[in-house]
Structure 1
Amino acid sequence: MASVEMEVIGGSKNFWLYSKADGYDLTHPPTPASPRIYPRIPLETTTGQIAIDPSKTALVVIDLQNYFLSPLLGRPSQSVGFEIIDKLLKYAIPACRKAGMPIVWLGWGLSQQDLDDMPPAIVKGFAADTNFEGPKKVGPLGSNIGPLEQEDGTMIEGGLVLMKDQWNSKFYPSLAEKAEPQDIWIYKNRLSGFWGGTGIEDGLKSRGIRTLLFSGANEDQCVAGSLQDAFTKGWDCLLLSDGTGTTSPEFAKQGVEYNAAGGWGFLLTCKQVADGVDNMQAQPDASG
């Protein structure tokens, strides 16, 4: 079979390969002339086919924490956050486990120093949160939520708002129970998790991660902020359209996805990730 001529997209240290027949190769071989990397996962996106290396890929789950989701805090029992969780649990997370791709659990987890350094605009933004229902009042960042009554009548401490190691800053239970030892846990102190010395860049580089699948909430805020910073710093960015969502107007989601597909990287669904993993290509038999 004649070899397919591949176009190099990028610089000498960070590049993709492209052919009209096969689309974009995001597997990051040592050189453009190196043999193709296997195993490889073929993925259909809104702009065509790509291929990724599972050993260099991670799923990033952003801000799906009790503070943003739990009905114990007056959050709606049916919300976009739970729709996201359903897609992640059904498709994206099992696919990542099957392919050996780790999960980056990226969520708010503040220290007192973070509070002291917090810009007023961020404080104002949290104070404007109107997505609580019922009489439960939740104060500003760092304030004490107090005791909360669970469905079985037992009480838990809600903890300090979005401070590290508090109940409210833990990932929602149905997600947290899917965590495994090889996963990466990152506390962030701004909307973007790639800002402010979170350690995420060192954590990813130490694993050889080059490609990121972005999920979580809100899509136009913390997800988009993290994705744009990661894109600027050289990671491959794939946005999961049904693995993200927002409480903002629909046009906010549309704007993020337009840019994710057209400029920042690629746009696809959680099921397309699962389908790609099911069709993961192993090393061809050299004897054939």
Structure 2
Amino acid sequence: MLKDEFKELKEQIAGGIIPATANPWTPEYELVEADLKGHVDSLVSVDGIEAVIANAHTGETKMQDEETYRRVIETHVEAAGDTPVFAGVYGESSIEAAKLAQTAKDAGADGVMLLPLDVYAHQIPQEAINHFKYVADAVDMPLINFQFPTWGSPGLPISAHVEICKLPHVIAFKEASFDPIRYDRTIRAVDHLRDDCTIMTGNDTFLMHAYELGAETGLIGYANLVPELHVEKIRAVHDGDIERAREIRKRLLPLTNHIFGEPEGRYRARTKAALQMQGVFEHDTVLPPQEQIDHEEREDLRRILDDLDRL
């Protein structure tokens, strides 16, 4: 059962959208704090943005040093005001993850999302459960569970996520398998835990369907772009206005297909290019060894944004 002191935050994020923010870098790979502050401030000003999460996959978190990691969170906290700030936590051992979670807590984060470890590929449920228990004991703060493929594995056995979602520190579960069948099976398996664990989707490529199948919240990198349309879409589904949700999905489909086109891992570079075109970021730098998108792809993206009246 969820700890009493975490229930208010759990309810606060039960509905709406949580952007997993992109981080702006100079061409020399330094954080551009002014651009990040402006971006976070703009996102949290949108009605329906219930929180933001710094240093998740979209934020290139595993590629940063600890000082940059801390500065990114502090910048989010400063810009977000009363809006909750979560932080992604990596680390290939529970010891390292706990240290980073403490860094996030000290920087002002309200909670952390534990990114899947490479050892999850072992498919041993107790190792993942032990990981959450270790971090919870070390930092005593709200945790978000996260289903995501690792090292060619589709993810942990679903039974492991059920047990993790029962832990007293776990306030939410982000399902991001990018597999509609596994998503449906997982949501059905954890449905009875909703009173203590907010059910989220991170499946940017089939959001309308994910909301229809039971996600209360979208925790998505896609929300860096057109956040108000993402809010409108999830509200349309929750209100039963499927026709309106389909209209928004159809309108966004060219952008969805581009941002998450093959190879899907380039969505970060495409997202940053779009933010630069919109004047949100001065640069569209991605951390090495990632590559920026080429001229032809950039022009395609510009045309899509122009058709959406986003330039």
Between 1 and 2, higher relative CO (CA 8 Å, sep ≥ 6) is seen in 1
Give the strand-richer structure, 1 or 2.
Answer: 1
Larger Rg: 1
Q: Same fold (TM over 0.5)?
A: no
Task: Calculate the TM-score normalised by the size of structure 2.
Answer: 0.30
Task: Calculate the TM-score normalised by the size of structure 1.
Answer: 0.32
